[in-house]
Chain A
Amino acid sequence: MFWTYFFILIAVFVLATFYGRSRSLQVVNGQLSALHSRPGYHGGFLAIVTVVPALIALIVWVIVAPNIMNNIVSSQSADFMSGLSKPAVEAFLRDARALAFGGIVGFVDAGKEHAAEIYKSLNTTSNILMGVIMALLVAGGFFYGVRTIQPQMRARHFVERSVMALLILCSAVAIFTTIGIVLSLIFESLRFFQQVPILDFVFGTHWSPQSAFIGAGAEATGTNSEVFGAIPLLVGTMLITFIAILVAAPVGLLSAIYLSDYAAQPVRAVAKPMLEILAGIPTVVYGFFAALAVAPFIRGWGESFGLTVSSESALAAGVVMGIMIIPFVSSLSDDVINAVPQSLRDGSAGLGATKSETIRRVVLPAALPGIVSALILAISRAIGETMIVVMAAGLAANMTINPLEAVTTVTVQIVTLLVGDQEFDSAKTLAAFALGLLLFCITLALNVFALRVVKKYREQYD
């Protein structure tokens, strides 16, 4: 029923647009110059006042109606539902709804049939009621709008403000989603920190959540807070990120310089999209590339020097991750280097500077803020990257800075904590939220830090 109403409203919107337009011309007898706003704005005005109140009512109805119906049904079939547990009540209502509106029913009994009848009649009532309310709102809005259309009416201002409201609404969705995610991270983490002291988590050096439970079987109730030390994970994350940046920063930056200042136009036209394709390769592909090609190669290479190399090593994961983030560095840096005005390059060349001197001393300093933010974006990507490290870096929480050993990262541990059948309120599962929060704090701090650095050292060219 929602969609029927919705499409009716859209049709009304279109019709109202046309009617408003012709109505506005009608009130001035076709004399355009007598109108404050052009006819199109009057059309928009009429459409908005006609449709938007009804649309809001419709959305509220869709959200609220099922709850109200559930409550009414529950109270009217209370004698069938007495003594049922909460999940059983939900199952009862679900089956009743399925009986009423079609769907898969668990099993049928008299109580559910009774409830289904109530659902059916309620639903009919609600649909009719909603139809009436919407018709009233549409009609009211329409007549108000038609009466308001006058030569001096400021329809343009109204429409412009409505557009702004729509834009604000959309950005609010993005902002509130972010806030919601952060809040849920914080609250779940707080539950975790009730079981494991925050200091043990942030500064602990032992990570082994599989042995979190004290006792065995059904007696395993206590939580051993000693095994939730996040430091090994952080060290692993940092090590791999560091290796990745060591690969991506020089390769990305230098290729950006080549592309922007040295490459001929045809080369650039081919090479830049090619580089950007790297960003389009799914990370899981990089992952098995790392695990199946790079890691064995590094192990073989290391053993030929007599080094002990684990078959899942930080080096393999880091190098492949570095390759993955090259396009972030190169593409963004290329853009900012290109944005440095040609006049600065000319000025430098006019003083007898060579191309490389110009780039080193004029172009790069001017492009520095953009380059730093490209690097920061790449680092954030590397820190949050999961698939490559799951496959290539291993699961062992070794605290080491030897790139030839297996390490694990924050993201990998979040995956292993949440994959499979888990109790949601155990310390083990909640630890994932705490790790997520930690990761979020680190990338946030990194961003703030980078912004400050950029502000301090930027050379502003306009």
Chain B
Amino acid sequence: MEMTAGNVQQADLNGALPVTEDGVPIKMRANQVTVHYGEKQALFGVDLNVRKSNVTALIGPSGCGKSTFLRCLNRMNDTIDICRVGGEIVLDNEDIYDPKIDVVELRARVGMVFQKPNPFPKSIFENVAYGPRIHGLAQSKSDLEEIVATSLQKAGLFEEVKDRLDEPGTGLSGGQQQRLCIARAIAVSPEVILMDEPCSALDPIATAKVEELIDELRENYTIVIVTHSMQQAARVSQRTAFFHLGYLVEEGKTNDIFTNPKDQRTQDYITGRFG
């Protein structure tokens, strides 16, 4: 397989990444992260290691801060005026809240897929080409076409849309739109992909396809996914973090969290006693 620019960069930095006790490189590290919305504190001192080439699921009841935390990881919270973030979040040994960091570049490295599919009102091709265009990733038109095709292939959408790339992306079905959004995120060769309840607006069949896709993407990308569905967390993730009332209660192997949680609150949540 051809190495994209993002992969090369990732490979170069591999040696420098800190590793967990079981030897997995840590792609992103959150250290005592707090978030305030105005007067209200939404996150309290969250420490979390995001392991490279793993799917980390963030679960918890509504309003527990899991989406807030996710949005800290690529500074999407910057767009909310009243939001203040404290603590430290490190991507490849760089503090992403350091004033020297360029947010635009950060978001190219840490891509995001949203809850509701939000394709641009442009053609399918233009949707995927959007990121490469603004970052100047393609030297020529054929380069761009190749990036688009590869991204659509990786998102498992290419076969379905290859004959109608110039039709509007908004004309696809919900599941196809969400895979288009994933293709769009892949096209800028991010290192980390953040997914905020990517299947909550999809029917079960589309959900299955997206979950399958997430599992395939794990090979090349580090993925953090927020989900309301515990079954989904169990199906797609290797690591699971349980949030409750703004605190990170517990983090561990998905299997351990679901079969043998250490904290009573986690136990109550996964057995359906609340949330």
Contact = CB atoms under 8 A, between A and B. Distances in A.
A351 B170 contact: no
A248 interface: no
Interface string A338-365: 0001011111111111100100011001
Interface string B168-198: 1010000000000100110010000000000
A461 interface: yes
Nearest to A366: B121
Contacts of A353: 104, 130-131, 134
A33 interface: no
Interface stretch (B47-55, B105-113, B215-223, B254-262): B105-113
Interface in B97-121: 104-109, 111-114, 116, 118-121
A346 B112 CA distance: 9
B139 interface: no
B123 to A, nearest CB: 9
Contacts of A361: 130, 134
Contacts of A343: 114, 116, 118
A349 B135 contact: no
Contacts of A341: 118
Contacts of A109: none
Interface string A249-283: 00000000000000011000000000000000000
A352 B134 contact: yes
Instruction: Say whether chain A's binding surface is mostly helix, strand, loop, or mixed.
Output: helix
A241 B74 CA distance: 47
Given A349-B107, A352-B134, A357-B134, A460 B170 contact: yes
A462 interface: yes
Interface string A420-462: 0000000000000000000000000000000000000001111
A348 B81 contact: no
B122 interface: yes
Contact of A350 (B74, B105, B119): B74
Nearest to A345: B79
B24 interface: no
A365 B122 contact: yes
A460 B120 contact: no
Contacts of A459: 120-122, 168
B107 A352 contact: yes
B170 A354 contact: no
B104 A352 contact: yes
Contact of B170 (A265, A346, A357, A462): A462
Contacts of A348: 120, 130
A430 B269 CA distance: 83
Interface string B111-151: 11110101111100000001100110000000000000000
Contacts of B76: 346, 349-350
Contacts of B74: 350
A351 B130 contact: yes
Q: Which of A349, A357, A362, A462 has the most CB of B within 10 A?
A: A349
Interface string A77-95: 0000000000000000000
A347 B122 contact: no
Contacts of B106: 352
B181 to A, nearest CB: 7
B243 to A, nearest CB: 21
Contacts of A346: 76, 79, 112, 114, 118
A75 B104 CA distance: 91
A89 to B, nearest CB: 69
A90 B116 CA distance: 75
A183 B135 CA distance: 58
Contacts of B113: 350
A62 B16 CA distance: 95
Contacts of A462: 170
B103 to A, nearest CB: 8
Interface in A317-350: 341, 343-350
Contact of A354 (B81, B104, B118): B104
A245 B71 CA distance: 42
Contacts of A461: 120-121, 170
A352 B108 contact: yes
A348 B119 CA distance: 9
Interface in B12-62: none
Nearest to B194: A350
Contacts of B170: 460-462
B135 A362 contact: no
Nearest to B171: A460
Contact of A347 (B104, B134, B135, B181): B181
A378 B183 CA distance: 41
Contacts of B116: 343
A349 B168 contact: no
Interface of B: 74, 76, 79, 81, 104-109, 111-114, 116, 118-122, 130-131, 134-135, 168, 170, 181, 184-185, 188
Given A350-B76, A351-B184, A352-B109, 5 more contacts: A344-B118, A347-B114, A347-B119, A352-B131, A353-B104
29 contacts: A343-B116, A343-B118, A344-B118, A344-B120, A346-B112, A346-B114, A347-B118, A347-B120, A347-B184, A349-B107, A350-B74, A350-B76, A350-B112, A351-B111, A351-B130, A351-B188, A352-B104, A352-B106, A352-B107, A352-B108, A352-B134, A354-B104, A357-B134, A361-B130, A361-B134, A362-B130, A366-B120, A460-B121, A462-B170
